[in-house]
Structure 1
């Protein structure tokens, strides 16, 4: 059996977990909490974060979608006069760990299939490592990954290639034999810069046309990755 790669590195939000079903719902709760019920503050936070209060979903160009926890905190803190950036960042980190999770596909059997093929597996997210591990633990898959990193793990954040290259170093696999799978241009740009193969998935806000320039292939969801890995070139 010939595979296109020896390792798969996944983004988390919008990739392992469906973005809208997880984070659109979470954001509405966060905005309501931080505003203290003040409608004007809710509108200001939503505008700063690129969030539609009426439809309860992020705009496709929201800086929060592919940003780090710190960048999300900056968006909200700048319009919250009584809260410091540090306070908002800490709140978001803790709140994110309890976000309602919607798996893109049933993760345990999917990851077990990949592991059975001797593929090294990793997660690199622009969320915090604390939240990432909490989410993966809740889904029952934390122990199935050889590498888990967030923007605060010491390797940097996407679209910088350094955190992706850290995965290659940790698993001792050449970058060109690694596939970066993600739902945003940040994910795929980082993968290209790292010299990796890139797979885009449509379980986040980005459309096919946005991902295609940076992806070797765009798939509906991660469930199609296995077939792509097995396809002969």
Structure 2
């Protein structure tokens, strides 16, 4: 393996614990849109693959690796009174304000990686504005050299466009770069781009789900330092 020069992170399930961040947020979002209509609330939850009682996303939910537009489209199918563009804008604002649960103490871990002279980036299927807002809310945005969302013009994972965008922006060869993700979408994008594939378990997928598609599976991004040293 070539010497590592940069690391590209997925956001949800990697920088932030997926269920702790989005489980409660989804319950509040559904309650706000359904306005006391329990049948509508259940339909919205089912459309997202969300367990309304347990307040968690089911392992097979498309939301785990889906784009913001896909989430809006799934809800819009149940909400004829909402203009689709207005619903997308509403969700974009709500996700940007969502309280984030860090998977590890992000500033500490990322600062250590920066001290290794690594370029750091984010590639998420969320919108770029929401990504920047979420990361800024925990005081870590300044540590990233590149932030891209599904609306940044590179396409969405599992397509490798955002990964190629990071490599080009940093002036680095794909074989010197790592993609860290919590889903098979991330791993497939990494393979297509020629990145080293690192899976972490702070999302919903299990080690058994991810191991066949990854070069290594780590518990969380706090283990990256030891992995790089090894």
- Partners of 2:25 and 2:150 lie apart in 1 by 20
Deviations 1:143-183 (A, max 9, x none): 11110000001111100001111000000110011000010
Q: Does structure 2 conserve the Cα–Cα contact (< 8 Å) formed by 1:17 and 1:103?
A: yes
- Partners of 1:140 and 1:183 lie apart in 2 by 22
1:11-26 mapped onto 2 (5 Å cutoff): 11-26=10-25
1:21-40 mapped onto 2 (5 Å cutoff): 21-40=20-39
State the 1:36 CA deviation: 1.4
In structure 1, the residue matched to 2:7 is 8
- Partners of 1:64 and 1:83 lie apart in 2 by 20
Gaps (5+ residues) in structure 2?
none
In structure 1, the residue matched to 2:163 is 164
In structure 2, the residue matched to 1:199 is 198
TM-score by length of 1: 0.97
Q: Does structure 1 conserve the Cα–Cα contact (< 8 Å) formed by 2:2 and 2:176?
A: no
In structure 2, the residue matched to 1:220 is 219
Secondary structure of the residue aligned to 1:89 is helix
In structure 1, the residue matched to 2:85 is 86
Aligned length: 230
User: Superposition RMSD on alpha carbons, in Å?
Assistant: 1.1
Secondary structure of the residue aligned to 2:63 is coil
In structure 2, the residue matched to 1:230 is 229
Secondary structure of the residue aligned to 1:64 is helix
Gaps (5+ residues) in structure 1?
none
1:80-229 mapped onto 2 (5 Å cutoff): 80-229=79-228
Runs of 4+ in 1 over 4 A off after TM superposition: none
TM-score by length of 2: 0.98
Deviations 1:120-153 (A, max 9, x none): 0000000000100001111111111110000001
Secondary structure of the residue aligned to 1:114 is helix
